[in-house]
Amino acid sequence: MINQKLVTIGTFDFKLNHLLVIGILILSFSVSFLLRFQPADYGFELNEFDPFFNYRATQYIVNNGIDDYFEWNDSLSWYPIGRDVSSNSQVILHLTAASTYWIFGGGMDLYDFTILFPAIVASLSAIVIFALVRVIGGTTAGLFSSLLFSISIPLLIRSPLGWFKSEPLGLLFSLIAIYFLLSGINSNNKKIAIAKLIGAGIFTTFSISAWGGNQFFIIPIGIFFLTLPFLRADHKFIIWAIPLYTITTILVSLGFERVSSNFLFGLGGLSLIVPTLFLVSCIFIQNKSPSNKTRNGLLFLLALLIIAPTILVINADSQFLPLPSHRYLNALNPFLTTSDPLVDSVAEHATTTIEQSFLFHSILMIFSGIGIWLILKNTQIKNSNFIKNDMLSFSLILGIVGVYVSSTFVRLEVFASISVIVLASLGLTVLTKEFFKKESKSRKPLSKLIQLPYVAGIIILLVIPMIYPTGSEPSTIIHVPATILNGGAAYTVATNDWIETLDWIKNNTPQDAVVASWWDYGYWIQTMAERASLADNSTVHTNRIENIAKMLLSDPNSAWNSLNEMQADYVLIFVAGEKLNVNAEGSFYTLSGGGDESKKQWFMRIAGYDTAKYLHNDGISGTDYFWNETLLGQMFPFTLLGYINPNNLSQQSETYIPGMLAIYEKDVKFPSDGDGPLKLVYASSGFTEEKIGPMIGVFVYEVNKDYKPES
């Protein structure tokens, strides 16, 4: 019935099963897009920090052209140094967005286009992963993978509406690259194989240019190449096919400055080049061996596995090979997690917990395990052609590497998601084939009885993570406001404090004004306020970030000198808290909502200071020294009143007691008409309004150039 022909187009018979495939893919795309559209309930804005620079870079291409983009030194970034954009940016992301805007923009505002871009790109990936997994395990497995991709929590978190960052486009190009690679080496037509392998090399470079994290896809590809001489008998084919892919990747990477410098001549490139050289050499050795071909190849592999780690150990001291950045080394070596406070301070670099892993992958972990067991079992059965040995090898390698690299950073859970989705799809396919395989006379009654419960059980298992536990469903997790609407605070509220503040800076400060702030807000200042910042999210000059941290923690006189040395005209800080009540005695606040008041411990660690001087033993509450002697403490327009027991409000203390809650009242130490080192020239409406509940406050201070430091 399902193979019934509907219409013939040329020599192609369009059947009912083709219609079913198209329907499921449309469903996957629609579910994927609708889930990613959830943040629109709070406002139609770019989300997080990096998207604002990516929007501005795309805007530069649209307004000035591609040639000027490659010559652009961004003067608003890292003032007065600037930033050579094409050498340290996601170039292919900007070029792709600008190109698709020219083609599909249709008069739409570019800002709105870049908001929609990641949701559409990520939803298209649900279709591409179908093609990829179909090459590995067939159409059924591909359809399962498409549906699972559309509801994967880690993938949803990293590609919602407005997430104009690296991952959505980078993952799309990586999936395309792997699809071309696997389908190319499985093609029976040499011309088609050549075209696909060249395409795989091109998209591999594109994917790394879009997101440097895609270098982690090189690792399973490289390991896969090591296995091919032992899994494939068509040595005459793979001895030129694999080098063709690698050479294409190398040649295309030379056109991208950032890729060629960070990937080609680093460990990422070696992870591709060395396995390719091994494959060619191993096949040559096997062909020249009159006997024991496999043994000789394995001995050569063993030698490589001994030599390569030895070189890496030696390189750790001499560094004759360029090393990747600390973030990439951290993913490969989890023991580096706490050695760089700047890396550790980023929320998306937090180590994945066991609870998060189960939340992210839940039922899919079970299907992945079952899938591995059943696939390995099926390979032992003669005439079982469900999955070829080389495709099985790639799936298992991808699964192991994906889970490993994601264990360090929450951000890298997207790799575990891809791995688990592939294995779970194969597992579900094997199970389905077992329950629906052709019946024999002896098992016909049993088969009929268990098929319907099997289908119902699978549906229930897959639906449970969509509705339970309450509050952790994909639709709820993704339903959060864009970061610029709450500053990344802990409160799920949407305000205009940041947008209004940045608009005020744009319209009320000189065009050549320079704004100092913590590096988190640099891209917002450059893009929305159109003013130069001292530091931003590219973190290309970490010493500048360290100097800003030291400035904020210095006494006001020293900090004023530092601000003038850095040529800053204004200083911006962000405070998040909660207003408890409003009465005749005044307003009272708690301050621990995710603003600079909650980041100050990271300022101290990045500056290299002893936190005990500034914080009580809970690691969060500021000491008297912090509040009275540091510039940051005095920039917070609040004064500590005392502490209360949140479980017994009658229990109060003027001094710090562990477990008690700090209470503050408004107190501007640097008023606009004062003669101090700074003058408060703007406070956002969240601070000035007398409204109980979450408080989002953004404050702009002008550096008083006439201030006379006290001796």
Q: What is the DSSP letter of 352?
A: P
pLDDT, residue 404, reads 81
pLDDT digits (tens, 9 = 90+) for 54-89: 999 999 999 999 999 999 999 999 999 999 999 889
**pLDDT tens digit sequence for 586-619:** 788 999 889 999 999 999 999 999 999 999 988 8
329's tokens: 């080394």
Residue 456: Cβ-neighbour burial (10 angstroms; 0-12, 13-18, 19+) = exposed
Predicted confidence at residue 259, as pLDDT, reads 83
Q: How many helices, marked H, and strands, marked E, lie in the chain?
A: 29, 13
pLDDT at 296: 76
Question: Which residues does 674 contact at the CB level (< 8 Å), separation at least 6?
Answer: none
CB 572 within 8 A of CB 601: no
**Sign of the alpha-carbon dihedral angle for 655, 657, 659, 660:** negative
For residue 463, the model assigns a pLDDT of 77
> What local confidence, expressed as pLDDT, does residue 169 receive?
96
Residue 270: the pLDDT is 82
**pLDDT attached to residue 471:** 72
Task: Give the model's pLDDT for residue 326.
Answer: 55
Residue 316 DSSP code: H
Decide if 374 contacts 431 (C-beta within 8 A).
yes
Q: Which residues of the chain have pLDDT under 50?
A: 445-446
